[in-house]
A = this chain, B = another copy of it.
């Protein structure tokens, strides 16, 4: 059994502020051409996607430097739902053991996808990122960003920039963003194959969980 953990892609979907807009438009039609083809324009970090180390680290690897099997993860979920907007998630909220190779931090913020509130997600502190690195985990979130995202609601003592990205990507881990549909998942195999883009700093993915039949 497989479960889709991906946000849908269509024209005008929410992106990280300033990222290329997403557009899907007709390029050929059955009536005019005998077949239908669409033109897709998007950023490499559109929708549910994977960040390469090169996203923030000049010496970081690109996605296509990795064997495709690296994108089949032994994933586990930690429940961090019920938090206030723009609150930090520290290392104490994370599992105490090191099992798995990807930690999915479930914030519940996917419920706000497509609204301004989606920008005001909880975030991982740099110390939480350090804990993930020590555990050997890549990180997934059901939010736009494991660092705070700029918004009119930003607060004074937030970290700025990408310290959590830098710790994870600097350690050659991957980050999955904009996951959804995590309810009831605990530990599972996660498929998140990037498109085979050359020198990719990131790629949209179809994130899919293999789950046991209930």
Chain A residues within CB distance 8 Å of chain B: 1-4, 6-10, 16, 18-20, 24, 27-28, 30, 33-45, 47-48, 54-58, 64, 67-69, 71-72, 161-162, 165, 191, 193-202, 204-206, 208
Query: With A39-B43, A41-B40, A162-B35 known to touch, is A195 a contact of B201 (CB < 8 Å)?
Result: no
CA distance A194 to B45 in the complex (A): 16
CA distance A2 to B109 in the complex (A): 33
Contact indicator A18/B9 (Cβ below 8 Å) = no
CA distance A165 to B35 in the complex (A): 10
The residue on B at minimum CB distance from A70 is B2
Q: Would you give the shortest CB distance from A126 to chain B, in whole angstroms?
A: 15
Q: Would you give the shortest CB distance from A176 to chain B, in whole angstroms?
A: 14
Q: Would you give the shortest CB distance from A46 to chain B, in whole angstroms?
A: 8
Contact indicator B56/A9 (Cβ below 8 Å) = no
CA distance A204 to B195 in the complex (A): 7
Contact of A198 among B9, B27, B58, B195 (CB under 8 A): B9
Q: Would you give the shortest CB distance from A70 to chain B, in whole angstroms?
A: 9
